[in-house]
Amino acid sequence: MTYLDTYRRCNDVAETAIVGITGLLVAAIVLLPFVGTLIRLATGEGYTWIAETPPQLVPWVVFPLIGVMLRHDRHIAVDVVPHFMRGRPLALLRAAVLLISLLAAIAFAAFGAKTVALFKVLGQISTTELEFPLWYLYVSYPLGFILAANFCLEALLCELAGRRRARHDTLDLNLPPAAV
């Protein structure tokens, strides 16, 4: 087994964890308003934290999934040039795009980490019924881009090694296929 195979297997485990956790968060986002309605109907009282929590969980779904979507070519793309290229030039184009994506993800993660550090120093607390430091909400941004950089690095190494992930070897999210 090569280093690249081991790296891909580790990323498979990370991806499974990310998809599982974000799936649970989506379930919470969907179920909390329903539960809040039932509580209000049963007791006549509502709790604002039930209504406030779903929007606060959305960044924890979106940012960690960026890398997973990129890993499986399920990202938004306008691919014109690849339709006119084959072989080595196409592989070099894909590698260049992945390198730029890797550098961008690293930059976004670094700036996101600095922003989270700033909010941590500011010590701002949420104004919601359940009080917590606001920087908790923003940690998802650099974390998501660190994960995206990790998956970009994997895709870049696979592209350079000529071991690009096959279309059938993708996560089935029941989404329409992306342009190739």
In single-letter form, the type of residue at position 9 comes to R
Structure tokens at 154: 């994997």
Mean pLDDT, all residues of the chain: 85
Listed as ranges, residues in the chain with pLDDT below 50 are 167-170, 179-180
Return d(Cα 47, Cα 51) in angstroms, integer. 7
In single-letter form, the type of residue at position 123 comes to G
Sequence ranges of the domains in the chain = 3-169
Contacts of 131 (CB under 8 A, 6+ apart): 125
**Per DSSP, what are the bridge partners of residue 133?**
125
Residue 48: what pLDDT?
83
> In this structure, are residues 71 and 42 in contact, taking their beta carbons and an 8 Å threshold?
no
For 29-82, the pLDDT digits (tens) are 999 999 999 998 998 888 888 888 898 999 999 999 998 988 887 766 667 666
Question: Which of 52, 23, 67 is CA-nearest to residue 129?
Answer: 52
